[in-house]
Structure 1
Amino acid sequence: MTTLGIIGAGNIGSQVARKAVEAGYDVVIGNSREPETLAALVAELGPNARAATALDVAAAADVAVVTVPLHAYQSIPVDALAGKIVLDTNNYYPQRDGSIAELDDESTTTAELLQAHLPGSRVVKAFNHIAAADITADARPAGSDSRRALVAASDSDEALEFARGLYDQFGFDTVALTPLAEGWRIQRDTPGYGAKASEAELRDLVAAAKRYRETV
């Protein structure tokens, strides 16, 4: 059974954990505090979930989800995630994260920052543009007329295929983007950010995205 490691147990991390257990994954989840602080969540998730430190989560994961505030991305374990697919849910909020010059001038993106920090991993931008509660509330079976789509962006075809499969298991269609740098098209304040859209609709919204510097 595949182990999904989740580094960050906030709103997004907790909802991803719920869907992952439902889909049949083993889940190891950690936060910036002690594993004991996640006792209630782990009890809710059931016997296929456990809490651990961030380093132990990274080591145990077959695939990891990084869902910490962006300013903390350099705390993510590097060696333990080498060779692994890593899903990045981060968004940039200067009022929370402080000013990051290369994001302010759009010379890079949040996922590319994490990829540079994790050079041996295959990073996928995922789950950054959906409200946490919608991860469970908006899930629909494949083929449903009302099925929502989500974006995944990566430099790795294998990582994109994993993300597509995970989205499908969770109840969503996929709009896949390459390379990873194209993840800017689904960052905050773009047309597709937060949109409850079908795959075709989301493709159009992603295509309509403009760089921040083009909108001021």
Structure 2
Amino acid sequence: MMKEQNRTIGILGTGEFARALAKRLYLSGYDVIIGSRRPEEAHISATDECLCNLRLMTTEECIESVSIIFLAIHAEHFKDLLGDHEDKLNGKIVVDVSNRDRPSKSNSNAEYLQTLIPQASVVKAFNVISAYALENDYNTSSRQVFIASNNDLARIDVSNIARAMNFTPIDLGNLVAARRIEKHPLLLFPDWGRPCGFTIVLFIIWLLYLIFIYYVEQTIYAWDQIFVKVLNKAICMTGITVLSVTYLPSSFAAIFQVYYGTKHIRFAGWLDKWLKNRKQLGLISFTLITIHVLMSTLIMSPTYLRSWYHSTKITIPYNMSRAYELENINWMTWKGEAACMTGIFSFTILCLVCVSTLPSVANSLNWREWRFVQSKLGHVALLLAVVHVLVMGIPGWLKNPKRIYKSITFLSSILPWLTLLLKLFFTIPYVDGYVTKIRKGWERKERRCQAKCVRQKKEDLGVMNAKDAANPESGLFPEYTIQMVSFDENE
């Protein structure tokens, strides 16, 4: 528990973030003192009445009155503000909440601050929390506060403050971790580059195939159908392919583990990145399939989907003495109804899988429930999607078997079927039991396995030594994860 004298906290700075921080600390039960170089000109209560209860004083008075100080100013002003107060900061905890304009591998704002006040305990924290998140409890953004400092007790004190403010502290160790903490707000969807690039390339390939193979050779589309009908087919083919790619790497991981007879040999780099990108791939596939559902709803008519509806022929005599009232009702064929049924079920299950990735839902599931939704239901959704494609394709295959290999329904279902067959193979009781035994720590004692483990340990040791020599921050702490969610269990 925090000591009583630490219930009073100082903040140096009167900007927007400093005001939001002061408000949150005050509402969390702390006495807050705000320090300013020109307190007579700072009207901190102008926008929020609760700030009227806070004390405003000079920088020197604020530093002398508290043992924990939040430094809410830009890094370029550190030296000007603290240069004359270095002795007064000895033994105090100074929390740096600043951010950089661009990432740096050689230094951080917090490390620079530590050189200015070497006798103080500098803590890097709260820089990934916005002023809006500080002022609004209902804000749904990440509530994790990354904390780094060379002083263990200082990290504990700041962690307690974060918990009191209803945030989740993440202790990342020594102050060198501030480089990564300051880099975090500068990243723009860092894990989405490869999945989005892969999807775009795949979509272009399918679209070109549709346009140049089907349109040029068979001319089954009019040029004005490219915007919805043709584009919808390309989106559908891309969506089901990306969905299968989401679940395929778990089977590859099992194959490698069975081959080596141990779980302690690291996966190849390409497979490791593939496994880590499953969440992004799954969300992309869900987005594409949602667009496909909307587009298909727009063109749901006998004009666009002729094979889904019964054909009604009406014969009118040449000479008619009186008018007749004709009623034309087009019922769906078995193909149309079966395609709709499998598509609706697949999309509904995929919605459940996608919703379970939300942190609020994921936190309410235990590990078994999580695996069931992400893996079992996910593969069921993929199976129904494949059946949906086959229902539309098989009648055409039977009419013209020679063109099956050019059919878009056949080509887009190859990879999904491979994914499902591999998953089915690893659900065989004997195979599943063997893989489970390996993942529980059992190792097959073979010379090949032992030699591979020894060689990998030597390689890892050599890489780590090289990194330590070139970069002093390497290996100090593992990469942090913002949300531990994916579209399949981490196998």
For 1:66 and 1:203, locate their aligned partners in 2 and report how far apart those are by CA, in whole Å.
25
Comparing both structures, which one devotes a greater share of its residues to strand? 1
1:85 maps onto 2:97 in alignment: no
1:203 maps onto 2:200 in alignment: no
Cα 1:85–1:55 change in 2 (3 A) is: same
Match of 1:189 among 186, 189, 208: 186
Does the aligned pair in 2 maintain the 1:111–1:125 contact within 8 Å? yes
Give the corresponding residue for 2:43.
38
Unpaired segments of 5 or more residues in structure 2?
Answer: 191-358, 364-478, 484-491
Comparing both structures, which one devotes a greater share of its residues to helix? 2
Cα deviation, residue 147, structure 1: 7.2
Does the aligned pair in 2 maintain the 1:111–1:183 contact within 8 Å? yes
Residue 40 of structure 1 aligns with an amino acid whose one-letter code is: S
* Seq. identity, %: 28
Give the corresponding residue for 1:107.
106
Give the corresponding residue for 2:143.
148
Give the corresponding residue for 1:23.
28
Match of 1:4 among 9, 18, 38: 9
For 1:62 and 1:53, locate their aligned partners in 2 and report how far apart those are by CA, in whole Å.
16
| Per-residue deviation, residues 187-207 of structure 1 (Å, max 9, x unmatched) | 1424799xxx89x9x93259x
| Per-residue deviation, residues 155-211 of structure 1 (Å, max 9, x unmatched) | 111111111111101111111111101111121424799xxx89x9x93259xxxxx
1:72 maps onto 2:77 in alignment: yes
Cα 1:192–1:69 change in 2 (3 A) is: farther
Give the corresponding residue for 1:159.
154
> After TM superposition, which residue ranges in structure 1, 4 or more long, deviate above 4 angstroms?
none
Cα 1:129–1:39 change in 2 (3 A) is: closer
Match of 1:174 among 135, 150, 169: 169
Structure 1, 126-135 or 145-154: larger mean CA deviation? 145-154
For 1:158 and 1:151, locate their aligned partners in 2 and report how far apart those are by CA, in whole Å.
16
For 2:175 and 2:125, locate their aligned partners in 1 and report how far apart those are by CA, in whole Å.
11
For 1:192 and 1:166, locate their aligned partners in 2 and report how far apart those are by CA, in whole Å.
29
| TM-score (normalised: structure 1) | 0.75
For 2:97 and 2:167, locate their aligned partners in 1 and report how far apart those are by CA, in whole Å.
16
Does the aligned pair in 1 maintain the 2:110–2:175 contact within 8 Å? yes
Cα 1:168–1:192 change in 2 (3 A) is: farther
Secondary structure of the residue aligned to 1:30 is: strand
Does the aligned pair in 1 maintain the 2:11–2:33 contact within 8 Å? yes
For 1:22 and 1:147, locate their aligned partners in 2 and report how far apart those are by CA, in whole Å.
20
Larger RCO (CA within 8 A; separation ≥ 6): 1
Cα 1:126–1:165 change in 2 (3 A) is: same
For 1:112 and 1:191, locate their aligned partners in 2 and report how far apart those are by CA, in whole Å.
24
For 1:129 and 1:192, locate their aligned partners in 2 and report how far apart those are by CA, in whole Å.
15
| Per-residue deviation, residues 100-138 of structure 1 (Å, max 9, x unmatched) | xxx85x322110011111111111101111211111214
Cα 1:205–1:25 change in 2 (3 A) is: closer
Cα deviation, residue 30, structure 1: 2.1
Does the aligned pair in 1 maintain the 2:129–2:143 contact within 8 Å? no
For 1:29 and 1:13, locate their aligned partners in 2 and report how far apart those are by CA, in whole Å.
9
| Per-residue deviation, residues 9-34 of structure 1 (Å, max 9, x unmatched) | 11211111111111222111023423
